[in-house]
Amino acid sequence: MNEEERKRLRAQAAKSQNDFLDEQALDDLDELEEDELEEEVEEVKAQTTEKKRSTWEEVEPELPSIWMPKELGDTLVGSITALDEGEYGLFAMIMTKTGEEIQTPAHKYLQSRLKNCVEGDLIKIVYKGEVKTFGKRTAMDYAVYKYKPLEV
């Protein structure tokens, strides 16, 4: 193998690794026999091919759907799986009959009604529309119903 071929193989190995070889690695390559050098190049190519087949994928947080009623009478029915305090106050996690877990919005009118509920309660939340607050602002109003079986 001539010096030109050796340099080409050395450059190909460095390029395939997407990395600069340090002086020790270059010295090691100079000491390799022709067959060993070609094996080294093939190994680096295989590693590079493997890198091309894999990639980094961002892991998105699994956030629950937040129920945001839009029309008067919109309803959410399900079992409370969790009552928790968030950045904006009390919210509930509701498991619907379809198995979807939905988070209630942290609206003050809804929070005041959810305080009377506990995990495991089967509830129905009905959007009653917007109301004026004492401070002349508008707020979303809700009715919350707990399921109570009839006694026979």
Residues 92-137: tens digit of each pLDDT: 999 999 999 999 999 999 999 999 999 999 999 999 999 988 888 8
Residue positions counted in the chain: 152
Please check whether residue 68 is in contact with residue 110, taking contact to mean a CB–CB distance below 8 angstroms: no
How far from the centroid of its chain's Cα atoms is residue 41's Cα? 39
115 located within any domain: yes
- Domain boundary residue among 13, 30, 53? 53
Phi, then psi, of 86 in degrees rounded to 5 = -110, -165
Q: Residue 97 belongs to what domain range?
A: 65-146
Stretch among 31-35, 57-61, 84-88, 122-126 having the lowest mean pLDDT: 31-35
Q: What is the pLDDT of residue 29?
A: 59
Statement to judge: residues 33 and 102 lie in one domain: no
Averaged over 32-57, what is the pLDDT?
72
Domain count, the chain: 2
